[in-house]
Structure 1
Amino acid sequence: MNDTRSLLQHFLAAIAYRTQKALRVAPQDFADFRAGTHVRTPHELLWHMTGVIGYARTMLHGGDFAPPRLPTFAEEVVRFHATLGALRDDFADASLQATISDAQFLHGPLADAMTHAGQLALLRRLAGAPVPSENFIHAAVDAANVGEKQALPVAPDPWWRPDQPPLPPAPNPLEAGSQ
C-alpha cells in the first residue's frame, strides 16, 4: 500500500471519529430532529453518508451503490461504520484498480462525508445539545479504527460550556473576548 492510500485510510478514521463525536451522548430523539423544511434529519444524513462512502467503493469495484434506508438509526450507524471499514480495506488491497485518482477520492466522496459529519455536529447544536469543542490535532484518530467505538477527546477545550454562545477563535477565547 502506498503513502496516499495510508493517508486516505487515516482520513476515513477521522470521519469515523468526528461522526461518533457528533453522535456520542446525543439526545434520544436526535435521529429524527429536523432543522427545517427539506433539511435531512440525522438519520437521513447518516444514510446519505453511507451512500457516499459506498459510492466511493464503486470506483474500485464497479457497479452501483444505493443503500435502502434502514428502519432504525442504530442500524444505520452500524452500517455506516461497516461501509467505512470496507472502503478502508479496499484501500489496502493493491489488486484493486480505481477508476479515479486518490486525490479525487479525497476531494470528492471523502470530503463530502467529512462535511456531513460537521453537519451532524451543527444539527446537535440546533437540537439544543451542542457537541463539546476540542483540539482535533491531538485527537486519538487511529487509521485501523473506523468503527463506532472511538476514543474520547484527548484535548477537550476546558473553557467550553454548552450554554455559551460561539466564541472568537483563539487559544483561550474567554481571555481573547475580554481584551
Structure 2
Amino acid sequence: MDKKRLMLQHFLAAIAYRTQKALREAPPGFAEFRAAPGVRTPHELIFHITGVLGYARTFLTGGTWRPIIEEDFPAEVNRFHSILTKLRELLESNTPFENLTPERMLQGPLSDAMSHAGQLAMLRRFFGSPIRPENFIMADINAENTGENQPEPISPDDEWLDAEGAPQGRQ
C-alpha cells in the first residue's frame, strides 16, 4: 500500500481518537447542548461529521451519501465510527480514487472532520466539563482502530503551556 493511503488511514484513526476523547465521560445533557443559537449541538456535529465522511467515501465508491440524523446519540456515534471504519477499509483495499487525489481528500473532508472533533472538545469546556489536556504526539493512535474503543491518554498533561494559571513562556 502506498504511503499516502497509510497516512490517510492514520488520520482517520486520529479523528476517531480525538472524537472519543471529547465524548468520553461527557456529562448527561452534553449531546443536546447548544452553546448559542445557530451553533450545532454535539449530536448535530457528530451527524455532520458522519455526513462529511460519507461524502468522502463516495470518491471511492461512487454514488451519493445523504444520511438522516439518528434520534439516539449513541446510535449516531456508532454510525460515525462505522463510516470511519468503512472509509479506512476502502483505503486499505486500494480502492481507486474517483476524481480526487489523496491530498484533496486530506485537505477537504478529512480536515473538516478533524476540525469538528476540536469543536466537540471546545463544547465540552463551554458545557463546564473540559477535557484534560494531552500531548497528542504521544497518543497511542493505531491506524487500524477507527472504532469507539479508543485507548486512554498515554501522556495526560496537567501543566499544558496555555493552562489557566500557567507561567507565561518566552519567545
When normalised by structure 1's length, the TM-score is: 0.90
Which residue identity does 1:53 align to in structure 2? Answer: L
Does the CA-based 8 Å contact 1:167-1:174 persist in structure 2? yes
Matching of residues 106-145 of structure 1 within 5 Å: 106-145=106-145
Contact 1:19 1:117 in 2 (8 A): yes
* Counterpart residue number, 2:10: 10
Q: Is structure 2 residue 166 aligned with structure 1 residue 174?
A: yes
Pairing 1:70–2:62 present: no
Say if 2:62 and 2:98, in contact at 8 Å, map to a contact too: no
Correspondence 1:16-35 to 2 at 5 A: 16-35=16-35
Cα shift at 1:174:
2.8
CA-based RMSD of the aligned residues comes to 1.5
Structure 1: 5+ residue stretches without partners? 161-165
Partner SS state of residue 174, structure 1: coil
Residue 62 of structure 1 deviates from its aligned partner by: 1.2
Gaps of 5+ in 2: none
Alpha-carbon contact 2:49-2:80 (below 8 Å) kept: yes
Q: C-alpha displacement at 1:116, in angstroms?
A: 0.1
Code of the aligned partner of 1:174: A
Across the two proteins, how many residue pairs are aligned to each other? 168
TM-score, reference length from structure 2: 0.94
How many Å separate the matches in 1 of 2:30 and 2:60?
34
CA distance in 2, matches of 1:157, 1:17: 17
